[in-house]
Structure 1
Amino acid sequence: MDIREGLVHVPVSLEKLPRHAEAGEPVYQGIIAVLNRIMRAQGIQISVYGAENVPQFGGALFAMNHTGYYDFIFGQIPPYIRGRRLTRFMAKKEIFDVPVVGWLMRTMKHVPVDRSAGASSIDAAVLHLRSGRLVTIFPEATISRSFELKDFKNGAARIAATADVPLIPMVTWGSQRIWTKGGEKHLGRTKTPVIIQVGEPITRTGDPDTDIATLKAAMQALLSEVRTRYDKEYGPFEDGLDWRPAAMGGTAPTLDEANRMDHAEREAKARARAEKAHRAAAQKEIKEDKRLARRVRRAWRRLKKET
């Protein structure tokens, strides 16, 4: 991200760090350059706090809240500030199956997550971390419609413990104003302010459930701090409050309402998958019946010729 022209506001002391070896990865760095131009065109105002908590060298696992589709962009900024470091995101494997996008994801060394085979995803992330790379995970797994922290899976704690790397909380606020789940896209020159804050690594105990609870508490504290700063620097807000949590006077669904919406969506997707599988099975059966019918006709013709 172009710090010099003010797109990203960070402490001056972090602007002239020596470049990390990851600065030499042409595809990923090229994607960042493209995203930089897109955000500049949108006039997005980004402020970063706590970037000094990003290791300048070596592996670390970041745990980030998830409120919008731009989180993948914003989560890369703090590492980039640290000598153009890169982070590898853990993303659902379906993205890797999309033509071109999948090639880019693999080339940038992101980590596919197969929810039906979680162990393989953990192993892939651990390999990245042990090789000295940074990895970012969304412990909530999916975007939070309420913009509050959802229940956390304990995968982040298990990955960090297995790889023996720092587990670092990171939050962003404002991303949901640009493009979020079920909301309108605001991709023009919106000049939307976004704050990203990186916390200090949590103290790990080795117990996944204890550590994930500690992580969530740390992220909640950071999120509360960032929300307060956001309102102070950019408020008051009077219109378009669908991006604000209900507890903050917004019109977003409550956490319970959002959970019910997510549950209904999962059920609908499951039904759609079942119906698709049923149609595919039925079509396969029809093809088999047609194939068998052709064989019977051929056999009957041969029999008539022989008799």
Structure 2
Amino acid sequence: MNKLLRSIVTYSYIIGYIPTQLNTLKKLRKRKAELTTAEYDQAVFETPQRWSQNILKKAGATAHLTGTENLQEGPVLFVANHEGNFDIPVLIATVPKPFGFLSKVEVKKIPFIADWMDELNCVFIDRSNRRSALNSISDSVESLKAGHSLLLFPEGARSKGNEMKEFKTGFVRIAAKAQVPIIPIAIVGTSRLMEQNENKITPAEVFVKILPAVYQQQDESTDTFKERVERLIQDARSDLQGESR
């Protein structure tokens, strides 16, 4: 299958699958009062996970996941590097723990997808509005305190396979206020699926590594802790790049 045809098939599936699952969402919402937070999050996660796994198949992506032994019970803040647009589907497809994620507010305008994102407890942010950015920190903290795990990309923009961008410190404040562990994740290869091919979808191998949970020390400054997490992900990313060659 050539790149153009693969792109058309993949994008058609991305757009076309979720509207077919509205009845599933309605049924889940009716069951919400019967389930614990963890049970409901798992039930909601199954459809986006299946959707993401099929997206990877149609894109020709082969995902390799290591480090699942580092996952924990209860809410956690996943912190990952941001290589490409396929980061979210790759992580939803492979990480066996439900989570929501921080997303641009423009996504709320997309029918059907926004409905599922609400149930995943995603947090929306308008990066052009400082008040919205501050509110997103509060919303993230509240979601974590309510028992939902969350994924953040502290770079704020895709590296597209180049060097990681400097992390912003917001994730440190979120974890501290919510009193949850940070679980770093390193990702390599997602930009090969799209960004490095003039945005035409191309088969590629993707590597994901879940690292042990990290905690801010009592005498550790926000900047120092941010740099420690950033360095852990950078080192793991370098190891994965060696494996992917």
Question: How far is 1:220 from its partner?
Answer: 0.8
SS at match of 1:136: strand
1:176-226 CA-to-partner distances (Å, cap 9, x unmatched) read 011228833225xx2x21110011122313632121111111111111111
CA contact 1:202–1:214 (8 Å) conserved in 2: no
Q: What are the residue-to-residue correspondences of 1:22-41 with 2, within 5 Å?
A: 22-25=41-44, 28-41=45-58
Q: Percent identity?
A: 25
- Describe how 1:207-218 pairs up with structure 2 within 5 A: 207-218=221-232
- Counterpart CA distance in 1 for 2:98 and 2:162 is 26
Aligned length: 202
1:17 maps to what in 2? none
Question: In structure 1, what is the equivalent of residue 66 of structure 2?
Answer: 49
Q: Deviations over 1:12-41 (max 9, x none)?
A: xxxxxxxx623222xx42222122223223
Unpaired segments of 5 or more residues in structure 2?
1-37
Contact 1:169 1:215 (C-alpha < 8 Å) held by counterparts? yes
In the TM superposition, structure 1's runs of 4+ consecutive aligned residues that sit over 4 Å from their partners are none
2:241 to 198, 222, 227: 227
User: Which amino acid in 2 is paired with 1:23?
Assistant: Q
RMSD (Å), alpha carbons: 2.0
For the residues of structure 1 that align with 2:55 and 2:233, how far apart are their CA atoms?
A: 28
What is aligned with 2:80? 64
Q: 1:93 aligns with which of 105, 108, 114?
A: 105
Tell me how far apart the structure 2 counterparts of residues 53 and 209 of structure 1 sit (CA, whole Å): 24
What letter corresponds to residue 203 of structure 1 in structure 2? Y
For residues 35 and 173 of structure 1, what CA distance do their matches in structure 2 show? 17
For residues 261-287 of structure 1, what are the alpha-carbon distances to aligned partners after superposition, in whole Å with 9 as ceiling and x for unaligned? Answer: xxxxxxxxxxxxxxxxxxxxxxxxxxx
User: Deviations for 1:54-113, whole angstroms, at most 9, x for unmatched residues?
Assistant: 11x211111111111110012224532xxxx31111111121133333333223321112
Which residue of structure 2 aligns with residue 125 of structure 1? 140
Following superposition, the deviation at residue 171 of structure 1 comes to: 1.1
Which residue does the alignment assign to 1:180?
Answer: 195
Tell whether 2:122 aligns with 1:110: yes
1:1-307 matches, within 5 Å, as 21=39, 22-25=41-44, 28-55=45-72, 57-80=73-96, 85-115=97-127, 116=129, 117=131, 118-145=133-160, 147-180=162-195, 183-186=198-201, 190=203, 192-205=204-217, 207-231=221-245
Secondary structure of residue in 1 paired with 2:95? helix
Classify 1:203/1:34 alpha carbon distance in 2 versus 1 (closer, same or farther; 3 Å): closer
Rg (Cα) greater in structure: 1
Amino acid at match of 2:115: W
Give me the whole-angstrom Cα distance separating, in 2, the residues matched to 1:38 and 1:184: 15
CA contact (8 A) 2:61 2:193 kept: no
User: Quick one: which amino acid aligns to residue 217 of structure 1?
Assistant: R
The TM-score with structure 2 as length reference comes to 0.76
